[in-house]
Amino acid sequence: MKTGLVLEGGAMRGMYTAGVLDVFMEEGITFDGIIGVSAGALFGVNYLSRQAGRVLRYNKRFNADPNYLGLRPLFRTGNIVDTDYAYRRVPHKLDVFDDETYKSSDVPFYAVVTNIKTGKPEYIKIDSVYEQMDVLRASGSMPFVSRPVKVGRKLYMDGAIADSIPFEKFLDMGYERLVVVLTKPDGYRKKPVPAPLAKAFYGRMYPKFEERIKERHEMYNGTIRRLKKLEAEGGAVVLRPGTHVKISRVEKNPEKLQALYDVGVKDARDAMGRIRAFMPEPDALTADSRGYGEIRK
């Protein structure tokens, strides 16, 4: 019986996910496969590289730099995050990502992207973070403040536009038990994006992507209803922020980033008994026995 981990996006709300995953590393909780969207993909790969604390560390260190995140890179490049800074300099030089440990984990990791021509989600297996960094960048490229990312001959953007919480995809792939990490609190309902905004940005060149943006709130809220049903039936354990932390999608304040991370840590520790009881015995092995490698700080 395969157990999968599903990671919602949410930009800097993903600090909650970072806290949860660091506790999973400490507790030796492992999975047969992982799927992440946007920040869930960008932050989630650190779970397989065994680099506990890295997501918190580099966001607290670099987010406040106006050349890294904010209006300066947006006006200069069309991306609210400086892509060379965030996707090249940081993981290769400034806070090095351990791609070798990631590749040696042997756990399939999928990033969700949205094809802006078709408006449909695609699920791309990440075998090497360094070699497929553009896929991860595409998954996290938020509409209106990011340029489309070319991967091969296709253009992609934020995977959350087409499949915000891809638990049904994992069920279709044969993962029978799911642990799902959400970044919005219980009771959250997404509101529609103003139609004129979507049309102004994407209507002329990418009408199917425009439609996805306009329909996203219905898709998201329906997904939450179906996930709650699965949770009630015992097919999933769902973690969602139990304490409200007001945080921007492009939060720069290190204290707020830390606060939301700490909520993730607390919620994961509080749920640990429930998670261990849920997971089949063969999947609840230690990190070393599954080949995940040493946890690096």
Q: What does residue 187 show for φ and ψ, rounded to 5 degrees?
A: 95, -10
Average pLDDT over residues 44-55: 98
| pLDDT at residue number 291 | 45
Distance between CA atoms of 1 and 283, rounded to whole angstroms?
9
Looking at the DSSP bridge assignments, the partners of residue 216 are none
Tokens of 138: 């595409």
pTM of the model: 0.94
Cβ atoms 16, 271 nearer than 8 A: no
CA 125 to chain CA centroid, Å, is 14
State the pLDDT confidence band at 285, using cuts at 50, 70 and 90: very low
For residue 58, give the nearest of 11, 94, 8, 84 by alpha carbon.
Answer: 94
Distance between CA atoms of 160 and 146, rounded to whole angstroms?
14
| pLDDT at residue number 1 | 85
135-139 LR contacts (CB < 8 Å, sep 24+) = 135/111, 136/41, 136/42, 136/45, 136/87, 136/111, 137/83, 137/87, 138/113, 139/9, 139/36, 139/37, 139/38, 139/41, 139/42, 139/111, 139/112, 139/113
With 80 as the cut, is the pLDDT of residue 184 above it?
yes
Total Cβ atoms within 10 A of residue 244: 9
Distance between CA atoms of 281 and 277, rounded to whole angstroms?
9
Distance between CA atoms of 40 and 182, rounded to whole angstroms?
9
Tell me the average pLDDT of the chain: 94
| pLDDT at residue number 294 | 60
Give tens-digit pLDDT for 100-132: 999 999 999 999 999 999 999 999 999 999 999
